[in-house]
């Protein structure tokens, strides 16, 4: 099956610093990747759609200057949380699909961000 790799799995940082999270599709090309945020025992909230070679599409209420998304290649998307604050602490998950193959989304293992 398709594999999506996400790194790091856990990061602790000081308030005011920036954190970059990588999402890679290992055995397929993903023209579109999605970034979700999840609070404990809550649903997955779509933050943005990452499109290879173009600007990301952000959901309403998500600050594009706070959450920078870059989709530089067909296998890599990155999410950078800039000037992180404690309220940004959350579980961030990426996903990708094999467009035109099936309806499944394949998820990375997630990144637990803790901002002190």
SS3 105: strand
Residues that bind another protein (CB under 8 A): 32, 34, 36, 41-46, 49, 93, 95, 97, 99-100, 103-110
Q: How far is the CB of 103 from another protein (least distance, A)?
A: 5
Q: How far is the CB of 62 from another protein (least distance, A)?
A: 14
3-state secondary structure 9-59: CEEEECCCCCEEEEEEECCCCCCEEEEEEECCCCCEEEEEEEECCCCCEEC
Name the residue nearer to another protein (CB basis): 86 or 100. Answer: 100
Name the residue nearer to another protein (CB basis): 49 or 80. Answer: 49
Name the residue nearer to another protein (CB basis): 88 or 108. Answer: 108
Please check whether residue 116 is in contact with residue 16, taking contact to mean a CB–CB distance below 8 angstroms.
Answer: no
């Amino acid at each position: 099956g398709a594999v999506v790799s996400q790194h790091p799995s856990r990061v602790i940082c000081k308030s005011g610093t920036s954190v970059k999270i990588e999402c890679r599709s290992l055995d397929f090309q993903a023209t579109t990747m999605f970034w979700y945020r999840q609070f404990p025992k809550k649903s997955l909230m779509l933050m943005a759609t990452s499109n290879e070679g173009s600007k990301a599409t952000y959901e309403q209420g998500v600050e594009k200057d706070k959450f920078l998304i870059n989709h530089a290649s067909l296998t890599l998307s990155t999410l950078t949380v800039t000037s992180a604050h404690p309220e940004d602490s959350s579980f961030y998950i990426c996903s990708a699909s094999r467009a035109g193959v099936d309806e499944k989304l394949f998820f990375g293992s997630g990144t637990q961000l803790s901002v002190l």
